[in-house]
Structure 1
Amino acid sequence: MKSRYTVMPSPLGTVTIQANDQGLLGIWFETCTTKPDSLGDRDDQFPVLSLTRTQLDEYFSGLRNEFNLPLAATGTEFQTQVWHALTTIPYGETWSYQDLANAIGNPKAVRAVGLANGKNPISIVVPCHRVIGKSGKLIGYAGGVERKQRLLALEQGTPLK
């Protein structure tokens, strides 16, 4: 299936968005190492990409706290289970990796959950930034810990500049 992409500015740097006819495949900041080498054709008017840009702009402006987008990321069965669980973390809240492992019914899979979380290709919309260390420390984020901190602050009411 043919994939398409667009690029948009954000208060946290340039964001690349990829989709196909089934839905959103990925959202990456420029420093993300998980972005695929091939993104398909650039198509700034592709409907899923346009809708994603609009919803991200609303999120960054503090006007949106929930996304309504078709998701089509591919991964292992375990990864997709973890990614789905990520979408249940409420806006403005954080979970530990243990909380996430518990949510998928596999409390001993904390390390595997952490690895799956790190492979999440749809940052922000599938909110892997809401997962923190058991001690409350901000650890691990493919977009950089500083961005993670700013996203969490946004969700606590601090506007992005």
Structure 2
Amino acid sequence: MTLDSTLFPVDHELDGLLARLADEADRRQMIEVAYRTVDSPLGPLLLAATARGLVRVAFVTEDFDAVLTVLADRLGPRVLAAPARLDRAASELDEYFCGTRHEFDLELDHSLSSGFRQTVQRYLPSIGHGRTETYKQVAEHVGNPAAVRAVGTACATNPIPVVVPCHRVLRTDGSLGGYRGGLEAKRWLLDLERR
């Protein structure tokens, strides 16, 4: 049996209602984490933000539902699709992927990391577009030259990849090392920045 869409025009009305509810919840500061998905050359990305700023960028391989569950557990249970809050982040990512943006101008929320990991992640944007550093160089720049492995862990657990450019950190021998989005994604980002 097929339903006549003229009798049940709920899909677009429901979408509009949900968008209005999300906007109102956001306006009243009732959302702890707003999220949306965006298309990218690397596949769909999940963007999430708190009132302080962008807190998470996740690759589809990370399982968006699992990522949202972690965000609810760590940051608060009021997690809602509220795309408007992430319009600027989506726009800047689009410009980056088109090759017209070389650095991001977004407020970031680093609350998913702490200690040395956060120190490393805050340093990473200083590695300029089209440049790379080794894990050892990053360890030296953040004042702990013996912490090469810890730098690798900080890069591997970076909750805001692409925007916080852990892809610009390589092994001493020039090989890629690891990457949360996979080595093909890391290679693609490095190639984009070399153009």
TM-score, normalised via structure 2 length: 0.76
8 Å CA contact 1:26, 1:73 repeated in 2:
no
Identity of aligned residues (%): 41
Q: 1:97 to 1:35 in 2, by over 3 A?
A: farther
Match of 2:80 among 31, 37, 41: 41
Q: Which moved more, 1:147-156 or 1:69-78?
A: 69-78
2:162 matched to 1:130? no
Secondary structure, counterpart of 1:37 in structure 2? helix
Instruction: After superposition, give the CA deviation of every residue in 1:56-82 in whole Å (9 maximum; x if it has no partner).
Output: 000000000010000002211211100
| Alpha-carbon offset, residue 32 of structure 1 | 3.0
Aligned residue for 2:93? 56
Match of 1:102 among 133, 140, 145: 140
Q: 1:103 to 1:5 in 2, by over 3 A?
A: same
- Rg: which structure is higher? 2
Aligned residue for 1:15? 45
C-alpha separation in 1, matches of 2:104 and 2:153: 24
Q: Which moved more, 1:74-83 or 1:10-19?
A: 74-83
Structure 1 residue runs of 4+, over 2 Å off? 32-39
Secondary structure, counterpart of 2:58 in structure 1? strand
Match of 1:31 among 61, 75, 95: 61
Aligned residue for 1:73? 110
Secondary structure, counterpart of 1:59 in structure 2? helix
C-alpha separation in 2, matches of 1:67 and 1:133: 25
Q: Which has the higher contact order (CA 8 A, sep 6+)?
A: 1
Between structures 1 and 2, the one with greater helix share? 2
Gaps of 5+ in 1: none
Paired AA for residue 35 in structure 1: V
Secondary structure, counterpart of 2:160 in structure 1? coil
| Alpha-carbon offset, residue 36 of structure 1 | 4.7
Aligned residue for 2:10? none
C-alpha separation in 1, matches of 2:133 and 2:62: 22
2:191 matched to 1:153? yes
TM-score, normalised via structure 1 length: 0.92
Paired AA for residue 79 in structure 1: R
CA RMSD for the aligned pairs?
Answer: 1.4
Paired AA for residue 7 in structure 1: T
Gaps of 5+ in 2: 1-30, 72-78
